[in-house]
Structure 1
Amino acid sequence: MTDLSHPSRSVVRDAVHHIWTRERVWLAFAGLLAVVFVVDAPLGTSSVQFTIRNLIDVAPFLLLSIGIAAYASATGADGLIARAFTGSPAVMIAVAAVAGGLSPFCSCGVIPLIAALLAMGVPLSAVMAFWLASPVMDPSMFMLTTGVMGAEFAIAKTLAAVGLGIFGGTIVHALSRAGALADPLRDGVGNGGCGASKVRTPQPVVWAFWHDDTRVAKFLREAVKTTLFLTKWLALAFLLESLMLAWIPAELVTRALGGTGIVPIGVATLVGVPAYLNGYAALPLVGGLLGQGMAPGAGLAFLVAGGVTSLPAAIAVWALVKRPVFALYIGIALTGSFVSGLLFQLWVSL
């Protein structure tokens, strides 16, 4: 009789290794959720509902950005986009920051575009400028901020978004010239170096790619890969966010952000990094705190820091880039948010 035990063990071992190395995020999600259900079943149920609801809410932005990235790859238009980011570094950074401040993408929805731009060989300095500015302000956010907090605050937030993008892009450009940050993407996500060939050797663009089976397959492959990649990370992020909402009282945030002077601006910046409120939900909170006497600079610092480094966005960035780039992203967000709040406070004090 043939002994099948060894081949069977090999198959099981390979399957376990695949799940552990490729699906650790889902394992972490399932393990954490299981613990929550054991400790507090109603909280587990509400966390699942929170996660699903937020995934549905962010889906239109994600699908749009994923579709754009996949379309650019399938048609060859990514080469045109990459060439648009060539030329003077200062001009590239400024244009990227302004484009980010005007784009309609949220902090999560911009991630697929960032990955695509880096894979095309677009300089990290310009990408970082777009990356930092995009989640802070968009047309609908401008209108809502104006309605809740006034036109002056909305304009200040817009200028903070563009300024943060230029500030971050300039720092990254200086580091890149010194030889750092040459390969920012994690292994398996993309390769920013090889994408530069799209700029050096432009290929014809096939806008109607659906007539070419190879391009259709490439479009579907890129779209599915990015969707699955982001879904697992965002599901974990939203689960963690739901637990923060449940375990960190809103009154604690209110007390931390109250007061005037430079200290509340620094505290607001730090609190904004793991901000568990999205930009729209945070506006009424900050508006109420401003009405109670909170420093306007602290309110701006909280909104800017929270917009750039909210938990879902930070986890998505962590999954996308290498650790030095992630650390730089957090550091720039912290510094830029604090400086933005400080400058705005000085302006309103004049």
Structure 2
Amino acid sequence: MSTALALIRNGAVRIDPAVAAIVAILIALALIAPHRLLPSVDFALGNLVAILPYLAVSIGLAAYASASGADNLIARVFAGRTMTMVVMAALIGAVSPFCSCGVIPLIAALLTMGVPLAPVMAFWLASPIMDPSMFALTAGTLGMQFAVAKTIAAFGIGLFGGFGMWALSRLPAFGTPLRAGIGDGGCAGSRIRSPKPVVWRFWHDPARREKFVRTALQTTLFLGKWLALAFLLEALMIAYIPAETVARVLGSDGVLTVLMATLVGVPAYLNGYAALPLVSGLIGQGMAPGVGMAFLVAGGVTSIPAAIAVFALARLPVFLAYVGFALAGALITGLVYGMVA
């Protein structure tokens, strides 16, 4: 036992937070509320089975993008006039999957290479909100209308932040966006410097077939554990949070309610995929759709892990602009969706 604890302390054994949370919840239920254990597990498994077709689509899209090199197309967006780049960066950010290295080193690579801050900000804001995998799972949990609206919101917030940054970019505070010592983005940087051609029929290449399988397995494990945790939390939420309480507190699309959801989305957001069934459950209990939209959009861009990464990468004025554009965009999105939904 002491050896295992020593390995954990030294980092030799990595504890997965999603798996640890699932195990902790199940143990707590078994000890504190054993009558809720089997119903909660049954609820989570039933919802996982129901969403399986959408999960398969999202996994397939992620694996295909990785194996074919389709994510290299991102590199071609950041060339040309700044105004055109902003529009294209917001569009690509709203519909493209992330590369495996993550968006932070990709942004570092773009800024290090001298790409204007305005299109980078547009891509930076739009990317966390939506991608093909997220679209498929959003449609499966919250409906096609919600998924389309969230995609439009990603594009709109990208434009809002990109053109807003273009208006501010002449100020001295934004002259040097990166903190001192930030490198060129590693493997993400190499994609920008020398993008490779896309191999759409990747299955003819054994190495790409292997990459497809590897990415599919990794994505399955990632999505599976987070969705399982989310559905387990949803089961507890339905069991212990009265629907009338949710409807009373979050049932209005008013400015204050949407603002509260926007601000709460920053610390409370767990994971883009895990948040979907939780919001679905809250809407089912009476939460207004505009409030749910504001929570998802704000949390996706400015969750604490994402904010910490941005803060470590960018100088303070750029970080504050990023957060400001994200929160303002989420608030506007929630209010507009609440009026039209």
TM-score, normalization: structure 2?
Answer: 0.63
Q: Distance in 2 between matches of 1:31 and 1:86?
A: 49
Q: Distance in 2 between matches of 1:16 and 1:136?
A: 38
Match of 1:237 in 2: 230
Deviation for aligned residue 1:196: 2.5
Question: Do residues 131 (structure 1) and 132 (structure 2) align?
Answer: no
Match of 1:296 in 2: none
Question: Do residues 308 (structure 1) and 297 (structure 2) align?
Answer: yes
Q: Distance in 2 between matches of 1:262 and 1:119?
A: 32
Q: Distance in 1 between matches of 2:124 and 2:331?
A: 22
TM-score, normalization: structure 1?
Answer: 0.62
Q: Distance in 1 between matches of 2:185 and 2:238?
A: 37
Q: Secondary structure at the match of 2:14?
A: helix
CA RMSD of aligned residues (A): 4.9
Question: Do residues 179 (structure 1) and 170 (structure 2) align?
Answer: no
Question: Do residues 70 (structure 1) and 63 (structure 2) align?
Answer: yes
The 1:41–1:55 alpha-carbon spacing in structure 2 relative to 1, beyond 3 Å, is same
Question: Please, which of 186, 189, 207 is the counterpart of residue 200 of structure 2?
Answer: 207
Question: Please, which of 18, 26, 48 is the counterpart of residue 33 of structure 1?
Answer: 26
The 1:168–1:263 alpha-carbon spacing in structure 2 relative to 1, beyond 3 Å, is same
**Preserved CA contact (<8 Å) 2:290 2:334:** yes
Max Rg structure: 1
- Equivalent pairs counted in the alignment come to 301
Residue by residue over 1:250-285, the C-alpha shift from the partner in whole angstroms, topping out at 9 and shown as x without a partner, is 211211135686434434545677576545973894
**Preserved CA contact (<8 Å) 1:301 1:341:** yes
Match of 1:224 in 2: 217
Paired amino acid for 2:292:
L
Q: How does 1:12-23 map to 2 (within 5 A)?
A: 20-23=13-16
Q: Distance in 2 between matches of 1:344 and 1:144?
A: 10
Question: Do residues 47 (structure 1) and 34 (structure 2) align?
Answer: no
Q: How does 1:178-197 map to 2 (within 5 A)?
A: 178-180=176-178, 192-197=185-190
Q: Distance in 2 between matches of 1:73 and 1:136?
A: 17
The 1:308–1:136 alpha-carbon spacing in structure 2 relative to 1, beyond 3 Å, is farther
Question: Please, which of 49, 55, 60 is the counterpart of residue 56 of structure 1?
Answer: 49
Paired amino acid for 2:177:
G
Residue by residue over 1:268-319, the C-alpha shift from the partner in whole angstroms, topping out at 9 and shown as x without a partner, is 5456775765459738946xxxxxxxxxxxx564032233367xx799x777
Deviation for aligned residue 1:41: 2.0
Deviation for aligned residue 1:36: 1.4
Q: How does 1:263-302 map to 2 (within 5 A)?
A: 263-267=256-260, 269=262, 277-278=278-279, 282=283, 285=286, 299=288, 301-302=290-291
Match of 2:158 in 1: 165
Could you tell me which runs of 5 or more consecutive residues in structure 1 were left unpaired when the two chains were aligned.
Answer: 1-7, 104-109, 146-153, 185-190, 287-298
Question: Please, which of 238, 246, 268 is the counterpart of residue 239 of structure 2?
Answer: 246
Could you tell me which runs of 5 or more consecutive residues in structure 2 were left unpaired when the two chains were aligned.
Answer: 111-119, 269-274, 312-318
Q: Distance in 2 between matches of 1:75 and 1:53?
A: 33
% identical equivalent positions:
37
